[in-house]
Structure 1
């Protein structure tokens, strides 16, 4: 993919402002005509000359009201199975949450949260083998998800901004639900006990959350502490990747506010 410097772009804008057709500018500067059209569109938008749709307002940049509860849920999904992609200088970034086809209800909840948090932006599903990527496009994704950065999440520090922590503190269950829907599950465990000389099987539900990032697991357990859910850490080998919720009262709380994936 070829990138064009500031000097070439400024030359193009000078010619365009003088009335030179897009195609002529593209030929003169050896730049794709689509790139020239994109530069012209951005230049006109900055000067208020674009009659079409302007960029939707951003809660962080423009003070637009943010739907906090859906955002808390979407933040949990992002920290688990989400990432932000920006393929080139000419493409709007997209937030993508990967959902397995086994959980269509999760896809619906994810898409609804995206629509609510980004009411003026494009949301879509891209089907892949065995899963779908639920995506929203916005130039302000980095404003709302400042945890985005180079490298895998578990290889760098993940911390919430103060304004994000305020939202999570106000809507902890939505945040927990998003994390469970991304990197968690509800299962049924079983064990046997000897009763009156007869071995009997007992089943009990349990929630698991698994994530390699120490920071993300800490965000999850902090939210659990806030709502009164008891948890333990289970090591996989020597790495404590798994958070377990097995006490009956805590499982009942989780069932009330989170529930199994569907």
Structure 2
């Protein structure tokens, strides 16, 4: 990975402020397009020039309409691979979802969900080795993700508030998709059986979800129960961190509403 110093960043900002397009700045300075977008967003934020409303509204604070489908999906992503943080150099908190570059479609869907949930705020992507951080800055992040707190999620209690439970009840598949797209996958398992004295190999699909938090796994399995999905615990190193869905009918339902990562 290339690390770009202050001089390169200042050159990029000078070009951007002069009206040069981000793609052209990235080409001239040999800097990833996502990095240029991130620099531009931070520069605008510090100067009070972020695009969108100067006073973004919030579903919880102002009662504005919330895209429940996008929120349920983003909530699942957040509980898996996301966190809310606030650093001294940023004036507002940021939500960051870290997603593997193997699944560019999931990255696109995550950013699209952020834009629907936070229509007044700009999003950006920051490249890291093998992945991208999909980010949005908003002073209302803690309003919409009250599970935020100090330390890792598995070390604290994770409980949905009543209004969040209502959304998940309305959009259970989107919630499950977000969890699978963050901490799950669809894989092909195999086993062998003796048929007529001959050992034969059988392959079958399985949905796999792994999360260290007991509470997050419970949210996942409770939602599966409501959807009529049969699941089992799979223990690793004495810990039941893994949830498996392997029954044919249940896999078919998951395929219809979730599908493999892309």
TM-score, normalised via structure 2 length = 0.79
1:148 aligned partner: 148
**1:193-239: CA deviation from partner (whole Å, max 9, x where unpaired):** 11112211110000110000000000000000011000001111211
1:55 aligned partner: 55
**1:89 Cα deviation from its structure 2 partner:** 7.3
- Written as runs of structure 1 = structure 2, the 5 A alignment for 1:40-189 is 53-88=53-88, 90-189=90-189
1:259 aligned partner: 259
Distance 1:232 1:192 in 2: 20
Distance 2:91 2:206 in 1: 43
**1:90 Cα deviation from its structure 2 partner:** 5.0
2:26 aligned partner: none
| Structure 1 counterpart SS, 2:61 | coil
Distance 1:254 1:217 in 2: 17
Q: Which runs of 5+ in 2 are unaligned?
A: 1-44
Structure 1 residue runs of 4 or more that deviate by more than 3 Å after TM superposition: none
**1:113-167: CA deviation from partner (whole Å, max 9, x where unpaired):** 0011111101011111110000011000000000000010000000000000000
The answer to whether the aligner puts 1:242 opposite 2:242 as a matched pair is yes
| Structure 2 counterpart SS, 1:60 | helix
2:221 aligned partner: 221
| Structure 1 counterpart SS, 2:102 | coil
Q: Which runs of 5+ in 1 are unaligned?
A: 1-37, 42-51
Using a 3 Å threshold, how does the CA distance of structure 1 residues 90 and 201 change in structure 2: closer, same or farther? closer
**1:192 Cα deviation from its structure 2 partner:** 1.0
**1:66-95: CA deviation from partner (whole Å, max 9, x where unpaired):** 000100000000000000110027521110
Distance 2:180 2:57 in 1: 30
Distance 1:53 1:113 in 2: 18
| Structure 2 counterpart SS, 1:113 | helix
Q: Is the 8 A contact 2:53 2:120 kept in 1?
A: no
| Structure 1 counterpart SS, 2:60 | coil
**1:53 Cα deviation from its structure 2 partner:** 4.7
Distance 1:229 1:148 in 2: 29
| Structure 2 counterpart SS, 1:139 | coil
